[in-house]
């Protein structure tokens, strides 16, 4: 127990709560091209973005119709890793599929 004599001062530190904001999120997008087979795109979406076949097909059709389709939203490091995995897989298979990320 702290006691106070005449010549001492007791300081009390107030604890301040800092607001911690979540990290920025990034969309991972596939871009349309005229060469990558639709089935390959569906397989990529299923494998790297854990989508079922129906959802993967819907995303692939959005890529085909609109020029791009969002596969998911992730923190920066995860989004970057997914982009690299998709690009590496596509290149090894001989396809020019493009995958990019942009801040959500």
In a domain, 77, yes or no: yes
Least confident of 2-11, 54-63, 79-88: 2-11
Closest CA to 76 of 28, 22, 25: 25
Question: Mean pLDDT across the chain, nearest whole number?
Answer: 92
In a domain, 13, yes or no: no
pLDDT of residue 4: 54
In a domain, 30, yes or no: no
The 3-state DSSP composition of the chain as helix, strand, coil percent (nearest 5) reads 40, 20, 40
Domain hosting residue 45, numbered range: 36-103
9 vs 13, 72, 103, CA distance in Å? 13, 57, 51
Question: Does position 88 have pLDDT exceeding 90, yes or no?
Answer: yes
Assign residue 58 the CATH number of its domain.
3.30.1390.10
Please give the tally of structural domains in the chain: 1
pLDDT of residue 80: 98
């Amino acid at each position: 127990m702290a006691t106070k004599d005449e010549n001492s001062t007791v300081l009390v530190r107030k604890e301040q709560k800092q607001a911690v904001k979540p990290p920025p999120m990034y969309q991972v997008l596939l871009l349309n091209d005229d060469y990558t087979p639709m089935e390959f795109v569906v397989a990529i979406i299923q494998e790297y973005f854990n989508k079922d076949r129906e959802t993967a097909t819907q995303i692939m059709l959005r890529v085909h119709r609109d020029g791009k389709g969002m596969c998911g939203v992730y923190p920066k490091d995860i989004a970057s890793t997914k982009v690299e995995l998709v690009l590496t897989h596509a290149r090894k298979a001989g396809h020019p599929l493009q995958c990019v990320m942009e801040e959500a």
